[in-house]
């Protein structure tokens, strides 16, 4: 009885942490110090949900999303399917690549955590972006409808700019959470945590530049 109850208890704990990570991020990220297989398994579903929702919000911010309905043969269902599939792929990229960048930067500065923990750290830091999908985009669709996904639509003015910068604010919030998470997980100073973020961003920029040289 005890053996079967413990995993269920861990699952509930990580579900609750997913719901409160925006209110008490330090406590949630500190809990990531437990990198046992049991704890990692218990947070798999919250990690998947956060990354998929954040991924959908991410692809909706791309220039490709702005022109989806320029083709009259496409409709709202096409947009939804595109966002769902693209969001899953985008979330997976952030999970694996973003986790690798944070892991590499942390280890370069003396961190001892695992790659798995770094991936989970990135996932929980993406919570504000996931939240933006539930707050910003429904408001945008209510205000502008399909024009959000059509070039030259009614969202091209001030209202569309406000929507865009609201989404950017949630992205910035995620970056702040990532720094808080790095600090909480490693027990580092703010300066060392910011240096880790800077190193990860710099490595990512170098990677993007290299890919552009190879494929352009």
User: Which tens digits make up the pLDDT trace of 178-209?
Assistant: 999 999 999 999 999 999 999 999 999 998 88
**CA-wise closest residue to 146 among 86, 75, 78, 64:** 75
Question: What pLDDT shows up at residue 4?
Answer: 53
Other beta carbons within 10 angstroms of residue 158's beta carbon come to 8
DSSP code, position 153: S
- pLDDT tens digits for range 72-110: 889 999 999 999 999 999 999 999 999 999 999 999 999
Which token pair is 42? Answer: 């218990």
Q: pLDDT (tens digit, 9 = 90+) per residue, 133-174?
A: 999 999 999 888 888 898 877 777 788 888 899 999 999 999
Return the pLDDT at 45.
Answer: 95
**Short-list 105, 117, 102, 116, CA closest to 178:** 102
Q: Which residues contact 171 (CB under 8 A, 6 or more apart)?
A: 128, 129, 132
**Sequence ranges of the domains in the chain:** 2-17+24-215
């Amino acid at each position: 009885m005890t053996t079967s109850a413990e995993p269920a208890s861990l699952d509930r704990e990580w579900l609750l942490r997913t719901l409160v990570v925006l209110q008490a991020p330090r406590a949630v990220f500190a809990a990531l110090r437990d990198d046992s297989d049991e704890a990692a398994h218990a947070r798999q579903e919250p990690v998947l949900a956060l990354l998929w929702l954040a991924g959908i919000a991410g692809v909706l911010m791309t220039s490709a999303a702005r022109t989806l309905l320029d083709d009259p043969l496409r409709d709202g269902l096409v947009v939804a399917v595109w966002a769902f599939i693209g969001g899953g792929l985008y979330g997976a990229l952030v999970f694996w690549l973003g986790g690798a960048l944070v892991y590499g930067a942390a280890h370069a500065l003396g961190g001892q955590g695992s790659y798995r923990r770094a991936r989970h750290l990135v996932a929980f830091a993406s919570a504000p972006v996931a939240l933006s999908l539930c707050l910003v985009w429904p408001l945008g669709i209510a205000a502008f409808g399909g024009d959000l996904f059509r070039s030259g639509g009614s969202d091209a003015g001030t209202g569309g700019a406000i929507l865009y910068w609201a989404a950017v604010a949630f992205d910035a919030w995620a970056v702040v959470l990532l720094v808080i998470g790095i600090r909480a997980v490693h027990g580092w100073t703010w300066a060392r945590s910011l240096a880790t973020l800077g190193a990860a961003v710099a490595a990512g920029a170098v990677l993007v530049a290299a890919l552009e040289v190879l494929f352009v």
